[in-house]
Every structure is written in C-alpha cells, then in structure tokens.
Structure 1
Amino acid sequence: QHLGESQALIDIARLCSTNVVIPEGIHCCGFAGDKGFTTPELNAHSLRTLKDAVQQCSEGISTSRTCEIGLTQHGGIDYHGLV
C-alpha cells in the first residue's frame, strides 16, 4: 500500500475471481517481517476482525509469505501468494 500498487494488485485479483473481498479496516497484517513469530500478539490484534470479514471466502491472496502465515491463521482460510 505504501508503494501505491494496491489498485494494480486488486485489478489482477479481479481478473482471477468474480468475487474479490477486501476486508475493511485491515491495512497491515501486523506480522512485521518476522516479529509475528516472536510477538504473535501484534498479528492477532491487527487481524482480530479478519475471520468475520472473509467468512464467505474459500481462499485468500497476499503478496508476502509472512503475511500469508498470519492471514491463514487468523482468517480461517488458506492464503497464498498472488503471483
């Protein structure tokens, strides 16, 4: 998001799916590089509303492997890389 590439990634996702959900209020997973391994509370707090937001989804996408770990754990669906 800081690089201003969000819309391009959303456009790519929409080419792959007829239903793209972008959870409101979640702008960062809170994994903070590798800090999610040692301070999982950061990730848990950042993603506390994710499971409800993606309950109708069967899979999720991300652009960061460590984000995918936290998103999968807290979203209740499998997240994988967009590329």
Structure 2
Amino acid sequence: MLLIAFLLGSSYFIFLKESCNGNCKNGFGSKIYWDGKKYIGQWKNGEANGYGVLVAKDQKILYSGKWKEGKQVSKESDVFKK
C-alpha cells in the first residue's frame, strides 16, 4: 500500500514539475509553470526580475512589462482582456 502511495505521489510530482530553459537563476531564460503558463525574460535570484512576458498555455500574451521579485510591477503593459 505504501509503495502505491509513493508511486502515485511521484507521478503527481512529475506532473507538477516546472521546466526552465536558459538562465532562470540570474540572467535571461524561460520557464514553463505547472499550469502551462510560460514566463520569458530576465531573472534575478531565481525570480522574474526586469522585463518579461507571461504567455498562457494557448500562446496568448497575458502580460508584458516589468517584474520585480517574481511580481508584476507595471500595469500599463497588461494586454489580457476578458
């Protein structure tokens, strides 16, 4: 029973794993998050920092602008409208 729980937990972890291309620590890179969104841009200390673009799973741009410590800091470039 414990083995089954471990195997299910492992596949759940793999499913939620995020992936990075480039330098997602300090530099320029892209990261795909567990929900399918993708951030492409500058990184500092492993967080979005500087200019970057957040793209939805369907390739629509959700946000394009400045980021600091993983958070959006300018709303004027918010291009997602519902």
TM-score w.r.t. structure 2 length?
0.26
Normalized per residue, the structure richer in strand is 2
The higher radius of gyration belongs to 2
TM-score w.r.t. structure 1 length?
0.26
